Amino acid sequence: MAVLGPGPARFWSGFTMVLLMLTGSSRTRDVLTGHNDTWREPSTATQEDHDPDPHNGTNSANHRKAFPVLAFNYGHVRKPFEISLWILLALLMKLGFHIIPRVSNIVPESCLLIFVGLLVGGVIKAMKEKAPVLDSKLFFLYLLPPIILDAGYFLPIRAFTENMGTILVFAVVGTLWNAFFIGGMMFAVCQIEAAQVSHVDLLSCLLFGSIISAVDPVAVLAVFEEIHINELLHILVFGESLLNDAVTVVLYHLFEEFSHTGTVTAGDAFLGVVSFFVVSLGGILVGIIYGVLGAFTSRFTSHSRVIEPLFVFLYSYMAYLSAEVFHLSGIMSLIACGVIMRPYVEANISHKSYTTIKYFLKMWSSVSETLIFIFLGVSTVEGPHNWNWIFVIFTLILCLLSRVLGVVGLTFIINKFRIVKLTKKDQFIVAYGGLRGAIAFSLGFLLTDNEMKHMFLTAIITVIFFTVFVQGMTIRPLVELLAVKRKKESKGSINEEIHTQESKTSVDIMDIITGKTTEEQTVVPPH
């Protein structure tokens, strides 16, 4: 396709302006209409003769107005309309980046999206409007699950189970190490008088450490998918980012509960350990239950092919929600559900349903990821911030330091048990790929609203920006420099190729018949 520079650019700016205008106008309009939820027209059948809707200015002097030929009532469609606009913005951004290949070769998509978010956030703020923030409910309930489901459903099982031990060590021991090291050292830092943060007690620091310590699956996916690293490294870092959810949940609970009492007894620590097992195994159990339900249901869907994909999505989503109800690990539940369900579902459903499931999971997770990064940018502009040089700088340094120390130290131990040892290059990539992302931000967002929270959030955002921008941009040249083994040139992982052998054959035939380009032959279309 020819690159139409001015065309798409006008396109995007046009839509961004529409988005901003509507965000602005909706507030005005709501004030004027008064009836925000009135559909189509207010019910005035027996009310007094007043005029709730400002129609197009045909109010006559007597209290009877003419029949409105055209009206404007934005209030009642506001919510779905604005959601649609944000999704449209996300999609147009994705389109645009792919049209301009030069930029997307140097700068990862995640960076560009955060940048767009900063822009949009800046404009909204300049208009003195309130921008939507990446609040925890939106993130954990709506934006995160599609990405995790997509990852879990297409998880390369063999690689995952072969490296399970390594992944678990990194996920559990590594994250614990990170949390306590960063938390403890930050407490020491806070004692420095110059920082003026001596009011931050140890438990708060540990809470901060537990928030900032976890490697983020969204960020890892976003960056690693563009560099096409070899499967082993990919599954190590990505698997770690998935399995550390249980650790993060427990640590966060633990420190959050007790940061106001001020002490943690040995009993609490023991309960914390118990809780870890409950959270992780419980989450997996919930996922298995729903996975079995999904597998069972797919036996009966032969007469209703059209709704087959919906069962997969619904059961998985409900597995996630059910786990969250009991404060179990929703991520692990979702992964377990997808892993359990997939073989049975794929044996039972039609080919079209399979294509729809795959396409839709990729579509949904694409949009989610895009929106997450855009909203990260918007939330950054929105603030409020509390910038503390010493706190932020030390957080950054300690994050990098603890990651390096953790990876090196753990690899030393792990390599004694591995057949295929992890080389220094591997260790470097694993350490460098420890990116932080929106999960850390959303967890920080949950804290009580005070100056300390703002300081924490500012530090978290800085770390996220550093990992996404600096590490994200430099990892590709570094990978090439170090000549790290890349993914096979085939179109997707081996596991996926085997599983989709049939569709690949049929795709080839179809493409020959229809004469479409070879791009369609990619079983897992690159987004």
For the segment 56-75, give every residue that binds its own copies (CB under 8 A): 64, 66-74
Backbone angles phi, psi at 486, to 5 degrees: -100, 175
CA dist., res. 128 & res. 345, Å (int):
50
- Tell me the two tokens of residue 211: 């928030």
Compare residues 230 and 348 and give the one whose CB is closer to its own copies: 348
Using rule CB under 8 A, residue 488 touches its own copies: no
With CB under 8 A as the contact rule, which of the stretches 94-102, 113-121, 180-188, 418-426 interacts with its own copies? 94-102
CA dist., res. 334 & res. 353, Å (int):
20
| Least distance from its own copies to the Cβ atom of residue 393, Å | 24
Figure out which of the listed residues 81, 115, 344, 428 binds its own copies, where binding follows CB under 8 A.
81
Compare residues 73 and 402 and give the one whose CB is closer to its own copies: 73
Q: The tokens 């999704």 sit on which residue?
A: 87
Using rule CB under 8 A, residue 342 touches its own copies: no
With CB under 8 A as the contact rule, which of the stretches 87-95, 157-165, 232-240, 465-473 interacts with its own copies? 87-95
Using rule CB under 8 A, residue 6 touches its own copies: no
Compare residues 58 and 423 and give the one whose CB is closer to its own copies: 58
| Least distance from its own copies to the Cβ atom of residue 212, Å | 16
Using rule CB under 8 A, residue 450 touches its own copies: yes
| Least distance from its own copies to the Cβ atom of residue 8, Å | 7
- Name the residue among 213, 226, 237, 151 with its Cα closest to residue 437: 213
Using rule CB under 8 A, residue 95 touches its own copies: yes
Figure out which of the listed residues 30, 129, 268, 497 binds its own copies, where binding follows CB under 8 A.
268
CA dist., res. 174 & res. 275, Å (int):
18
Q: How many residues does the chain have?
A: 527
CA dist., res. 446 & res. 72, Å (int):
38
Residue 414's DSSP bridge partners are none
With CB under 8 A as the contact rule, which of the stretches 32-40, 216-224, 399-407, 432-440 interacts with its own copies? 32-40
Let me know: does 160 contact 171? Beta carbons within 8 Å: no
| Least distance from its own copies to the Cβ atom of residue 435, Å | 22
Compare residues 99 and 408 and give the one whose CB is closer to its own copies: 99
Q: Hey, which residues between 100 and 139 contact its own copies (CB under 8 A)?
A: 136-137
With CB under 8 A as the contact rule, which of the stretches 118-126, 406-414, 443-451, 490-498 interacts with its own copies? 443-451
- Name the residue among 320, 305, 364, 179 with its Cα closest to residue 253: 179
Using rule CB under 8 A, residue 31 touches its own copies: no
Say whether 447 sits in a helix, a strand or coil: coil
Q: What is the largest CA-CA distance in the chain?
A: 91
| Least distance from its own copies to the Cβ atom of residue 156, Å | 19
With CB under 8 A as the contact rule, which of the stretches 39-47, 157-165, 233-241, 412-420 interacts with its own copies? 39-47
Let me know: does 242 contact 151? Beta carbons within 8 Å: yes
CA dist., res. 246 & res. 172, Å (int):
8
Compare residues 239 and 282 and give the one whose CB is closer to its own copies: 282
Figure out which of the listed residues 143, 186, 254, 336 binds its own copies, where binding follows CB under 8 A.
254
Beta strands in 417-481 (DSSP E): none
Cβ neighbours, 10 Å, residue 264: 17
- Tell me the two tokens of residue 72: 């404007």
Using rule CB under 8 A, residue 351 touches its own copies: yes
Figure out which of the listed residues 191, 304, 474, 490 binds its own copies, where binding follows CB under 8 A.
304
Using rule CB under 8 A, residue 516 touches its own copies: yes
| Least distance from its own copies to the Cβ atom of residue 448, Å | 4
Compare residues 172 and 310 and give the one whose CB is closer to its own copies: 310
Q: Hey, which residues between 154 and 193 contact its own copies (CB under 8 A)?
A: none
Using rule CB under 8 A, residue 34 touches its own copies: no
Compare residues 414 and 457 and give the one whose CB is closer to its own copies: 457
Compare residues 24 and 272 and give the one whose CB is closer to its own copies: 272
Q: Residue 50 carries which DSSP code?
A: -
Q: Residue 261 carries which DSSP code?
A: T
Using rule CB under 8 A, residue 150 touches its own copies: no
Q: Hey, which residues between 306 and 325 contact its own copies (CB under 8 A)?
A: 306-307, 309-311, 314-315, 317-318, 321-322, 324-325
Task: With CB under 8 A as the rule, give the number of residues binding its own copies.
Answer: 121
Let me know: does 315 contact 291? Beta carbons within 8 Å: yes
**Could you give the residue ranges of the DSSP H alpha helices within 133-265?**
136-137, 144-153, 157-162, 164-168, 175-190, 202-212, 217-227, 231-258
Let me know: does 182 contact 395? Beta carbons within 8 Å: yes
Using rule CB under 8 A, residue 302 touches its own copies: yes
Start-to-end CA distance of the chain, whole Å, equals 16
Q: Hey, which residues between 374 and 433 contact its own copies (CB under 8 A)?
A: none
What lies within 8 Å, CB to CB, of 360 at 6+ separation is: 309, 313
Cβ neighbours, 10 Å, residue 84: 11
| Least distance from its own copies to the Cβ atom of residue 147, Å | 13
